[in-house]
C-alpha cells in the first residue's frame, strides 16, 4: 500500500493506492510518512492541476469500495460534470430510486475518493450546503473554485 499527502488550499489530502488503483483520497489533519508509488504521484499532479483550475476530469485508475448500493451511487456521482450541482433527490433518481435521497446521502457521506468522485457537487433539495464529510466550508470552497474556473 502506498500513500502520499498533498497540502491543498483546503487542507491536507491523503492519497492511498495499491499498485493498480487509487483507493482513497480524504482530508486528514496531518500528513504522515509517505510511501509513494507512480499512482500516488500521478494523483498528486492531477489534484494540483484541479486546484489550479487546469483539470476538470480526473484520469486515474480507481477502485471503488463499499456496498453494491454505494458503488452504484459513486458511479452515477462520478458523471456529474465539473462546476455542476445536483440535489440528493436528483442523485437518487439517477441511481433509479427516487425515494432514496436519505440512502444516497448515507452513501455519499462514505465516499472514499473525495474530489475525484465529486460528492461536493451534491446539495440539499433547496440548494443548501449539507452533508460533506470534509466539512461544509470545504464543500463551499470547492464549489466556488469550480465556478471560478468554469469557462463553459
Per the domain annotation, does 63 fall within a domain? no
pLDDT digits over 59-114, tens only?
Answer: 999 999 999 999 999 999 999 999 999 999 899 999 977 778 888 888 999 999 99
Per the domain annotation, does 30 fall within a domain? yes
pLDDT digits over 102-151, tens only?
Answer: 888 889 999 999 999 999 999 988 888 888 888 899 999 999 999 998 87
Chain-centroid distance, C-alpha 94: 18
Task: Mark whether 44 and 87 lie in a shared domain.
Answer: no
End-to-end CA distance of the chain: 38
Task: Mark whether 39 and 103 lie in a shared domain.
Answer: no
Task: Mark whether 80 and 138 lie in a shared domain.
Answer: yes
**Which residues are part of the catalytic machinery?**
119
Task: Mark whether 137 and 72 lie in a shared domain.
Answer: yes
Strand pairing partners for 22? 17, 62
Amino acid at each position: 500500500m502506498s500513500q502520499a499527502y498533498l497540502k491543498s488550499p483546503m487542507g491536507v489530502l491523503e492519497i492511498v493506492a495499491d499498485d493498480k488503483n487509487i483507493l482513497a483520497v480524504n482530508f486528514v489533519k496531518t500528513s504522515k510518512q509517505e510511501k509513494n508509488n507512480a499512482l500516488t504521484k500521478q494523483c498528486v499532479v492531477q489534484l494540483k492541476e484541479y486546484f489550479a483550475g487546469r483539470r476538470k476530469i480526473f484520469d486515474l485508475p480507481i477502485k471503488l469500495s463499499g456496498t453494491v448500493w454505494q458503488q452504484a451511487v459513486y458511479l452515477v456521482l462520478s458523471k456529474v460534470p465539473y462546476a455542476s450541482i445536483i440535489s440528493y433527490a436528483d442523485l437518487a433518481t439517477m441511481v433509479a430510486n427516487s425515494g432514496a435521497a436519505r440512502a444516497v446521502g448515507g452513501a455519499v457521506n462514505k465516499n472514499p475518493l473525495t474530489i475525484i468522485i465529486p460528492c461536493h457537487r451534491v446539495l440539499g433539495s433547496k440548494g443548501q450546503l449539507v452533508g460533506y464529510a470534509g466539512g461544509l466550508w470545504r464543500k463551499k470552497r470547492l464549489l466556488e473554485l469550480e465556478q471560478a474556473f468554469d469557462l463553459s
